[in-house]
């Protein structure tokens, strides 16, 4: 049986990853901040183990990694926040900016770092869920906290890929599309099932390389 661990698993894209892998018979470690409030996650049928994890709590990440002494075939680093309240130029809110970096960059890298030994044991794969809003080529202004967090995540993902390529671990970095979730909103272009179906296919094919590309859920390459 294959094993996957997903962060931010209680709603949105993370929850859809849980549903699809569980449906396909995987063992799923579903991590979320408040398992007691994760009503939909708690109803997912299958081999699903729910863990409390706030990715800004470094000690909690390390502790969970120590508790789960088993190979992990796929690690989906998905938890993320938008930049609500970040402000506009002339009125930036630096506390909000730092909190966005804390989740999207440091939380993501700390998760990958803590679970890298488990993924190495499986010769597995790590997928960072980033955004094309972090692409410098895409930037059209605004959203400074969110955009810079994903730009930094893209670079961090490449650094992690280079660190793990020699160990046989494939690290990939994805834009999930504009997806109808709490973050993506009601006008989004695709539903979570389409995004995650595409992402899973790409994760399966992801190569061991020190230099991954930024790919959208449909395989389109996005400029850094």
Residues that bind ligand NDP (CB under 6 A): 7-8, 10-14, 32-34, 53-56, 78-81, 103, 107, 129, 131, 175-176, 178-179, 181-184, 188
Comparing CB distances to ligand NDP, the nearer of 91 and 182 is 182
Residue with tokens 């969110």: 146
Smallest separation (angstroms) from ligand NDP to the CB of 56: 5
How far apart are alpha carbons 63 and 46 in whole angstroms?
25
Comparing CB distances to ligand NDP, the nearer of 107 and 212 is 107
CA dihedral 69, 197, 164, 8 (to 10 degrees): -50
Cα angle vertex 18, ends 215, 43, to 5°?
Answer: 155
Comparing CB distances to ligand NDP, the nearer of 32 and 170 is 32
Smallest separation (angstroms) from ligand NDP to the CB of 148: 13
Q: How many CB atoms lie within 10 A of CB 132?
A: 21
The sheet with strand 47-52 has its strands ordered as 47-52, 27-32, 3-6, 74-77, 125-129, 170-175, 214-216, 221-222
Comparing CB distances to ligand NDP, the nearer of 154 and 206 is 154
Smallest separation (angstroms) from ligand NDP to the CB of 120: 23
Contact 83, 146 (CB under 8 A): yes
Comparing CB distances to ligand NDP, the nearer of 64 and 79 is 79
Smallest separation (angstroms) from ligand NDP to the CB of 154: 12
Smallest separation (angstroms) from ligand NDP to the CB of 170: 19
Instruction: Name which of 94, 57, 222, 50 is nearest 150 in CA terms.
Output: 222
Comparing CB distances to ligand NDP, the nearer of 166 and 187 is 187
Smallest separation (angstroms) from ligand NDP to the CB of 166: 27
């Amino acid at each position: 049986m294959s094993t996957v661990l997903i962060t931010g698993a209680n709603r949105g894209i993370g929850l859809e990853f849980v549903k699809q892998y569980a449906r396909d018979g995987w063992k799923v470690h579903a991590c979320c901040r408040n398992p007691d409030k994760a009503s939909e996650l708690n109803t997912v049928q299958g081999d699903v183990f729910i863990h409390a994890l706030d990715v800004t709590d470094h000690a909690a990440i390390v502790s969970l990694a120590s508790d789960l002494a088993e190979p992990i075939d796929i690690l989906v680093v998905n938890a993320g926040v938008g930049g609500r309240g970040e402000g506009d130029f002339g009125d930036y809110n630096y506390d909000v900016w730092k909190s966005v970096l804390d989740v999207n960059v440091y939380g993501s890298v700390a998760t990958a770092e803590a679970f890298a030994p488990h993924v190495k044991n499986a010769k597995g794969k790590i997928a960072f869920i980033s955004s094309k809003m972090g692409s410098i080529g895409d930037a059209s202004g605004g959203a400074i906290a969110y955009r810079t967090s994903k730009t930094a995540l893209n670079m961090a993902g490449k650094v992690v890929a280079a660190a793990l390529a020699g160990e046989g671990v494939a690290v990939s970095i994805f834009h999930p599309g504009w997806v109808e979730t709490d973050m993506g909103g009601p006008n989004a272009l695709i539903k979570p099932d389409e995004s995650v179906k595409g992402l899973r296919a790409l994760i399966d094919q992801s190569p061991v390389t020190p230099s991954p590309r930024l790919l959208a859920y449909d395989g389109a390459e996005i400029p850094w």
